[in-house]
Amino acid sequence: MVLCLNEKSQIQALDRTQPMLPLGPGLAERRTHDDVRHGTTTLLAALEVATGKVTEACYPRHRHEEFLRFMQCIATAYPRRHLHIILDNYGTHRHPEVKRWLERHPRIHLHFTPTGASWLNMVEIFFGIITRQAIRRGTFTSVRELVQAISRYIKAWNELCEPFAWAKDADAILAKANRQTTSFAGH
């Protein structure tokens, strides 16, 4: 089983200072420029490459402790299966406690994307979609309300999900991932 995993941190529960004015004939939806911040959450998500299904959890922070709790959720969700997890080189993913946990769970294998190539991790595509469709235009009066909206969106996503398909073949993708720097400016 191949999963793409990452964190989307600092998702803000934003509320507007005034109610949004709805669409009308010849009028676009209008909202105030200012907002009230009610806190943040971090979304940890694992996207199943074969189906597009997303497993998620929201935490107030994104340290190695939260990452390990999420990894335990993943291990429980996929019992007795070898898991190949694609993720970036964020420090929490390489923390000594994470390495010890992986030694106790030999069926779970982490595969790190090259530095600067987070676009290879398909969960990033999902993060873009959920941001555009559920988070950016949302109005949330609390972090709890934001987390509930994220969970509702992912539940609906999983009912209709399909796997993502690369538009380019493997050789083109690898060529971009392995490209050499072309700038010699020295900065």
Beta bridge partners of 56: 45
Among 44, 47, 96, 95, smallest CA distance to 70 is for 44
For residue 11, give the H/E element and its range. strand 2-16
More confident residue, 52 or 16: 52
Average pLDDT of the chain?
88
**87-98 pLDDT, tens digit each:** 998 889 999 999
Contact 39, 47 (CB under 8 A): no
More confident residue, 29 or 60: 60
Torsion over CA: 13, 16, 17, 18 (sign): negative
Q: Structural domains in the chain? A: 2-16+34-161 (3.30.420.10)
* pLDDT(160) > 90: yes
pLDDT value at residue 64: 94
Summarize the confidence of residues 41-61 as an average pLDDT.
96
pLDDT value at residue 95: 94
Percent with pLDDT over 90 in the chain? 62
Burial of 146 (0-12, 13-18, 19+ CB in 10 A): buried
Tokens for 177, please give them: 């991932």
pLDDT value at residue 65: 96
**130-158 pLDDT, tens digit each:** 999 999 878 888 999 999 999 999 999 99
More confident residue, 97 or 174: 97
Among 122, 150, 148, 123, smallest CA distance to 45 is for 123
Tokens for 3, please give them: 């999963």
* pLDDT(75) > 60: yes
Torsion over CA: 148, 151, 157, 159 (sign): negative
pTM of the model: 0.83
